[in-house]
Amino acid sequence: MKAIYAKDIKAMVKKFNLTDDESEYLYGIAEAINKERTEICEDIQSVLLYGSMIDEKRSAIRALLVYFGAKAQKENDLRMKLDKTTWAIAKVLKCGSYQVMQWLKGIAINKDRFGKFVECSDTFGLNYLEIA
């Protein structure tokens, strides 16, 4: 079953103003996720765990996380629920929810083209994530 459709990729490219190189990586990662038959896709999981020297690849991953986070919150009424949103994202993108949570926290700190859509807090017992 396909998790990421062409319309999703087009929406991410437009929403985050992705470059051609970032779009290529996005297509590649999306294809790997769609082909994967197990619960973990190594192409995305390895970048989430170990990072990447390639800026465009990291941007493609950020676009996936923010886009599918907003989609999960909207479709499942998960607004402001950090843990449940990360579980939903991890299920769709076939990766670890803990790594998704760590990346979303990092994205929220940097108010760049991805971070401006994300508000996150988990200090002092908070479990807050809002993705516009």
pLDDT tens readout for residues 4-33: 999 999 999 999 999 999 999 999 999 999
* Global pTM value: 0.93
Q: How many domains does the chain have?
A: 1
For residue 68, the enclosing domain spans 6-131
Rounded to whole angstroms, the Cα distance separating 124 from 107 reads 20
Alpha helices, DSSP H, located in 77-117:
82-93, 97-109
Per-residue pLDDT band for 118 (boundaries 50, 70, 90) equals very high
| 124 belongs to a structural domain | yes
| 78 belongs to a structural domain | yes
| 1 belongs to a structural domain | no
